[in-house]
Amino acid sequence: MALSGGAAVFVDKDGTLVHDVPYNVDPARVALAEGAAEAVERFALGGYRVIVVSNQPGVALGLFERSRLAAVEERLQALLGGKLDGFYFCPHAPQAGCACRKPGPGLLLQAAREHGVDLARSWMVGDILDDIEAGRRAGCRTCLVDNGNETEWHLTEARRPHRIAADMRQAAAWILNA
């Protein structure tokens, strides 16, 4: 187990860490987003734990079995040289009302408990404002990767990112210089 009080970078999977292929559980179709490998490497070298947090409603919708996500996690570990410290996902449908589905902070809170993470020293990086809201609600600083995936732009204080980056590479630069 990690030392208590360490910082983490929580990263959304689809559209942020990897190219967004809806409901994909085929490891062969998992491809890293621009700058993602470099960013994760830099986070790890900078002393951050790197933890994926992802909504995966395809489980609840019956599109794939929960167990299929293990192969996706293995593929990500292989692509990133084993630098992921955790892989958390919400398997519930959007209407389920659970605490783990982003924009709820549940996945981040669970990961923080299990990895001894200091949320106030941590960051949430995502490509939509639900990711940002989850990070803020958990007590993290936030960085939006503005790659065109956010289409609604309903900004409230909880959905306002601390930083905006063009890609994961720029997100890493912002975070490591903060």
Strand 8-11 relative to strand 123-126: parallel, antiparallel, unpaired? parallel
How far is the C-alpha of 27 from the C-alpha of 95, rounded, in Å?
Answer: 27
For this structure, is 12 an active site residue? yes
DSSP string, 123-149: EEEESSHHHHHHHHHHT-EEEEE-SS-
Give me the catalytic one of 14, 85, 130, 131.
14
Which residues, 6 or more positions from 105, have their beta carbon under 8 angstroms from its beta carbon?
99, 134, 135, 137, 138, 139
Which of the residues are catalytic?
Answer: 12, 14
